[in-house]
Structure 1
Amino acid sequence: MPRLSLSTLPLSLALACTLAACTPAAPLPLKDQSLDLGRTLGTQATQPFSGRWTVTDVPDWLQVSPVSGQGDVNVQIRADRGLDTPLAADQAELTGQIKIVWTAGSQDAQGGVDAPKGAAIWTVRADQYVLTGRLRQEASAQGQDLRVGPGPTARLAEAGRARGIIVKYRSAGGAATVKGTNARTEHVLNVLRTADLSVRSSRPLSDRSAELQVEDVEAALRILRADPGVEYAVPNAILRAQTLPRSVGAQALPVAQPLEPTDQYAGLQWPFRLLGYPAVWRDMEGGAYSRPVTVAVVDSGVRYDHPDLEGQLWNPGEGALDLLSDPRNGDGDGVDSDPTDPGERTRQTGSHGTHVAGLIAARWGQNTGACADCSATGVVGAVRRANVKVLPIRVIDAGGDADIADVSLAVRYAAGLSVTLTDPATKKNVTYTNPHKAAVINLSLGAEISADTAQPMCEAVQEASAAGSLVIVAAGNGYGTTPYYPAACPAAVAVGSVTLSGGSAPKHAVYSNAYPAVQFSAPGGTDPSRDPGIFNGGTLNGAPFPDLVLSTSWNYVKNQPDYEAQVGTSQAAPQVSALAALLLSKGVTTDAASTLARLSATATDLGAAGRDPLFGFGMINAVAALGAPAISDTLGLRIQDSRGLVFQPLVDALGRFTAYLGNGTFSVIGGRDRDGNGIYGETSEPRAQTSVTLGPATPQVDVGDLLPK
């Protein structure tokens, strides 16, 4: 094969190569552009470019990959529409802007002072998917039976409820007189008067009919129906509005009066309303919650001098215990029977253990011995007048830390198992046995440690469970999916947090760890720094109260009782502990196994159907678990996706709704709210539920009629 050189190529090609080498193309700036995803999940976006570029701003509902490069821009853009879908689900399309900063020119020239720089805005539009349906309620017979030819019994009932009679003549009787009667009406009046029947008033309805107000409707009907000039005489029967605010079939549901506490800050304790406690507290009026139950709070200790906890705690000498033996931990006196959370004027945080104990058992009504500038009534706890007491066991030091050994000993001791500790005075070993065995043990503590490291705690939890105690543990505030221990111990009951969403169901709290061991969720409040929420409707000092959890605490600077808003799975766990104690106190359940089964069977399923890492079996449901009476009966709709996002589309007067949603699987639930917590169709409430999947393959779904039963 002959060798080719430039001189053997066509002259025109050689000239083109020479010109290209001598005159480089001018750099192209990166331009703004618009991208329309339509109903697709994403698209590949490209633009010719010579230079370096970096994506700097992306809306939360869009993902861009890669986020930087050299040369042509070639990125994959994907949409997660649910992250930008408003609560009302009323936006048919979403828009967002991606910002890309660029430096034009060759890689060698990009560092130069004169290198062109700029930013391009790529606007992305996406259509939402559409869900429609109709929410209906069962019909209820509310009016009179107006069928032709009612029998004698029906006629008698109609006559008894009628406001008079309506009579129609066989022929017109002339124009009405000044008195509002015509000749036919005058004839009828005379007939009735002759029979000694009083006629209070009359008015014409047409030229052949009139309404008569008579004392004895039944007698008047009998006489007029015998008159040959009367075509018919019927009762002026009563009709009724067909609004069905509380209908169940053909009956109206009897609704109890909710019991609302009057303590000064009780209105800010929204978790109790979300769990339906006004119905539970009403249920307590019957006196059924009489069986004694102890809840051990293994925590930082408690302030016995808080007036809102007076009489609610087992005291020193009654089983309370301080397991901290290191004098550096704040109280300096080693293991003893006084688990008081120590006071230090330099301490800026409140008492964690006092906060947890208050959620379970804070007193109702007037406090005694309150300080001059303290609240006279404060807050309330879940157990109210039930025969439930808190056993404080101190394992968390003044710095907020606990260790595995102390927690393991505390769990065994709380469950009634004997533990051997060193007496600080005599330096001898002493055996301690809890005189008030805890049916429920609350651990609002934990850490991200390995299962191997946690083994001593898990063994203690297993032993406590075998001894009959239910060990309930905070799932952790790690903002992720890493298991925390001891919550992830096989025998523990891990509790995650939910918070208010503004819709008819709560949502997963962003900080709450989600992993397979999570069994339940309960209100733990919102993180104000990442997901601020003010949906509870309360105000404090003239400002909206954020969705935080309020309970008893201690002011160490002033050395006096106070009330503090805290957030976390530490606040969720004691609410499960309180409900477990109430189940045992009422006698709905008799042991740990039946209590756990009842909690699972009655939980409000949130997020994906069935148990999931975000919510476990769902949010605990106090009313369903305890069989408390209904305090409301309203009809409504809730829509949730598998991640627990909540949507609340408008329902019109005919029950129709349209929701514009992202892709995914959604639970669509129409139901009644019987416990006044605003969540429709919970366990034990009438409900109609369906599951739908929306996406490019099914961009629009009509679920038809939802008829809760």
Structure 2
Amino acid sequence: MTLATFSPSSSAAPTPDGSDRIRDDQWHLQFLRIAEVHDISQGEGVLVAVPDTGVEPHPDLAGNVLPGIDIIPGGTGDGRRDRNSHGTCMAGIIAAHGRSNQVGALGIAPRSSVLPIRDTPENGLGHPADLARSVEYAVRKGAGVISISVASSASVEMQRAIASAIAANIVVVAAAGNAPRESQVSYPASEEAVIAVGGVDSKGDHAPVSVTGPEIDVVAPAVNIYCTGLNGRYRMSSGTSDATAIVAGAAALIRSKYPHLPAAEVAHRLTATAVDKGPPGRDDEYGYGVIDIVAALTADVPPLGFESSAVTPPSTDSVGVGAPDGGDVGATARGLITLGVLVAAGGGYWVWRRRRRADDPPPRISR
């Protein structure tokens, strides 16, 4: 498959309430062929934990946001409160269902459920210990995917929490980090068993906001991403946080279609079917490439350790793209920084992959 671009619509800026134009502004939907994706899977039956600034009720998320928790010391409530908008945006990218007649925002997995965990105050500056508690809460609640759009630190508490999620067969997705604030892939994206997500622009090229490094696994749209905001409105954000939420939604779609597939194999599907960019094989800007959700849901992907030597060449079908580049970088941080980045972790009691070298060959798949 090759990447293609298209001309943005004339309605590049949302109206004051945005609901009638937001769908056209969500260029990443066409880029990722989401209409085709939703004919295959919509994420039904999958719980996605979103540790963030909370999730405010929004018409486009009605019924998809379950009661969660407020982890912040002294905080009260069930996670369905947000005064920053970052968490509401991430939840919308993952699970917004919009309204009739193409009105409202649409998420990657609109029939999935969101578990909101408020562990970051409205200033966007949280603590790694609270993020660790959030991950542990998600494990207890049976989340199938955890979407982490922050840069934190590799504290003992955080490492223990991520290890518990991996042991519980949860797909953990994390943001790589935003430049220039970060200069290398941040934690927990740098964790061995976590899917580290970088970003591309509407042309499928590396987004300058996305950090690079040997830990990058896949990339997804990260520039001018329109999503749900506060007071029933919408916001535009750029950063690896947004790309992470997209990959978390993709993981939910895979888990819904293949409910018995281990988390490690979910991650393997995403890397094995990614559209190669940059130098052949894995590289530090694109990882294994731009996610191809249609292929991840439909390709014949040999299990880890059992890849066939016969490989069908990638399809030449195009992925559409279409919105202007640029825009403000998504909110401040939690742990250390909210990034609009997502991490997906492998499952079971083993590490699903070693860190890839730049000279690794592409994963083998058949279509």
Residues 263, 379 of structure 1: 8 Å contact kept: no
* Counterpart AA for 1:341: R
Say whether 1:380 aligns with 2:106.
yes
Structure whose residues are more often strand by fraction: 1
> 1:303 maps to which residue?
56
Identity %: 37
Residues 178, 210 of structure 2: 8 Å contact kept: yes
* Counterpart AA for 1:442: S
Residues 294, 390 of structure 1: 8 Å contact kept: yes
The structure-2 alpha-carbon separation of the partners of 1:605 and 1:589, relative to structure 1 and needing over 3 Å to count, comes to: farther
Say whether 1:324 aligns with 2:77.
no
Residues 307, 561 of structure 1: 8 Å contact kept: yes
SS in 2 for 1:297: strand
SS in 2 for 1:672: coil
> 1:490 maps to which residue?
192
- Partners of 1:586 and 1:458 in 2: CA distance: 30
Per the TM alignment, residue 670 of structure 1 is displaced from its structure 2 partner at its CA by 10
* Counterpart AA for 1:510: P
Per the TM alignment, residue 412 of structure 1 is displaced from its structure 2 partner at its CA by 1.2
> 1:294 maps to which residue?
47
Deviations 1:146-184 (A, max 9, x none): xxxxxxxxxxxxxxxxxxxxxxxxxxxxxxxxxxxxxxx
> 1:312 maps to which residue?
64
Deviations 1:24-44 (A, max 9, x none): xxxxxxxxxxxxxxxxxxxxx
> 2:244 maps to which residue?
573
Deviations 1:374-419 (A, max 9, x none): xx932111113x4x11110111111101111101111111012xxx
The structure-2 alpha-carbon separation of the partners of 1:290 and 1:600, relative to structure 1 and needing over 3 Å to count, comes to: closer
SS in 2 for 1:392: strand
> 1:355 maps to which residue?
89
> 1:622 maps to which residue?
293
Query: Which residues of 2 match residues 72-111 of structure 1 at below 5 A?
Result: none
Deviations 1:266-312 (A, max 9, x none): 1111112111212112335xxxx5751100001000102x1111111
SS in 1 for 2:316: strand
Say whether 1:465 aligns with 2:166.
yes
> 1:610 maps to which residue?
281
Per the TM alignment, residue 521 of structure 1 is displaced from its structure 2 partner at its CA by 0.7
The structure-2 alpha-carbon separation of the partners of 1:290 and 1:484, relative to structure 1 and needing over 3 Å to count, comes to: closer
- Partners of 1:301 and 1:599 in 2: CA distance: 27
Give the total of aligned pairs.
Answer: 291
Say whether 1:404 aligns with 2:128.
yes
> 2:81 maps to which residue?
341
> 1:512 maps to which residue?
210
- Partners of 1:301 and 1:670 in 2: CA distance: 40
* Counterpart AA for 2:70: D
The structure-2 alpha-carbon separation of the partners of 1:494 and 1:362, relative to structure 1 and needing over 3 Å to count, comes to: same
Match of 2:23 among 235, 260, 266: 266
The structure-2 alpha-carbon separation of the partners of 1:302 and 1:601, relative to structure 1 and needing over 3 Å to count, comes to: same
SS in 1 for 2:38: helix
Residues 28, 321 of structure 2: 8 Å contact kept: no
Deviations 1:521-543 (A, max 9, x none): 11000xxxxxxxxxxxxxxxxxx
Residues 308, 552 of structure 1: 8 Å contact kept: yes
- Partners of 1:486 and 1:598 in 2: CA distance: 21
Match of 2:119 among 395, 400, 403: 395
SS in 1 for 2:220: strand
Where structure 2 has 5 or more consecutive residues not aligned to the other structure, the ranges are 1-18, 300-312, 323-366
Deviations 1:647-696 (A, max 9, x none): xxxxxxxxxxxxxxxxxxxxxx9962255569xxxxxxxxxxxxxxxxxx
- Partners of 1:611 and 1:336 in 2: CA distance: 44
Q: TM-score, normalised by structure 1?
A: 0.39
- Partners of 1:406 and 1:677 in 2: CA distance: 37
Residues 274, 677 of structure 1: 8 Å contact kept: yes
- Partners of 1:609 and 1:589 in 2: CA distance: 32
The structure-2 alpha-carbon separation of the partners of 1:336 and 1:366, relative to structure 1 and needing over 3 Å to count, comes to: same
Deviations 1:593-642 (A, max 9, x none): 110111111111111222222111111111111129xxxxxxxxxxxxxx
* Counterpart AA for 1:446: A
The structure-2 alpha-carbon separation of the partners of 1:508 and 1:626, relative to structure 1 and needing over 3 Å to count, comes to: same
SS in 1 for 2:233: strand
Say whether 1:550 aligns with 2:226.
yes
Q: TM-score, normalised by structure 2?
A: 0.73
Say whether 1:587 aligns with 2:258.
yes
Residues 588, 626 of structure 1: 8 Å contact kept: no
Say whether 1:673 aligns with 2:317.
yes
- Partners of 1:671 and 1:576 in 2: CA distance: 21
The RMSD of aligned alpha carbons is: 2.6
- Partners of 1:491 and 1:455 in 2: CA distance: 16
Structure whose residues are more often helix by fraction: 2
Deviations 1:303-338 (A, max 9, x none): 02x1111111112xxxx011001xxxxxxxx24442
- Partners of 1:379 and 1:465 in 2: CA distance: 31
Per the TM alignment, residue 364 of structure 1 is displaced from its structure 2 partner at its CA by 2.8
SS in 2 for 1:298: strand
> 1:596 maps to which residue?
267
The structure-2 alpha-carbon separation of the partners of 1:297 and 1:269, relative to structure 1 and needing over 3 Å to count, comes to: same
Per the TM alignment, residue 493 of structure 1 is displaced from its structure 2 partner at its CA by 1.5
Per the TM alignment, residue 589 of structure 1 is displaced from its structure 2 partner at its CA by 6.0
Match of 2:222 among 515, 524, 528: 524
SS in 2 for 1:482: coil
Higher relative contact order (CA 8 A, sep 6+): 2
- Partners of 2:33 and 2:127 in 1: CA distance: 36
- Partners of 1:478 and 1:602 in 2: CA distance: 27
- Partners of 1:671 and 1:283 in 2: CA distance: 18
Query: Which residues of 2 match residues 202-213 of structure 1 at below 5 A?
Result: none
The structure-2 alpha-carbon separation of the partners of 1:598 and 1:478, relative to structure 1 and needing over 3 Å to count, comes to: same
Match of 1:414 among 138, 150, 153: 138
Match of 1:276 among 33, 53, 60: 33
Q: Whose radius of gyration is greater, 1 or 2?
A: 1
SS in 2 for 1:338: coil
Residues 64, 114 of structure 2: 8 Å contact kept: yes
- Partners of 2:314 and 2:249 in 1: CA distance: 29
Per the TM alignment, residue 588 of structure 1 is displaced from its structure 2 partner at its CA by 7.1
* Counterpart AA for 2:104: G
> 1:22 maps to which residue?
none
SS in 2 for 1:415: helix
The structure-2 alpha-carbon separation of the partners of 1:670 and 1:459, relative to structure 1 and needing over 3 Å to count, comes to: closer
Query: Is 574-583 or 262-271 further displaced after alignment?
Result: 262-271
* Counterpart AA for 1:467: A
* Counterpart AA for 2:163: Q
Residues 584, 590 of structure 1: 8 Å contact kept: yes
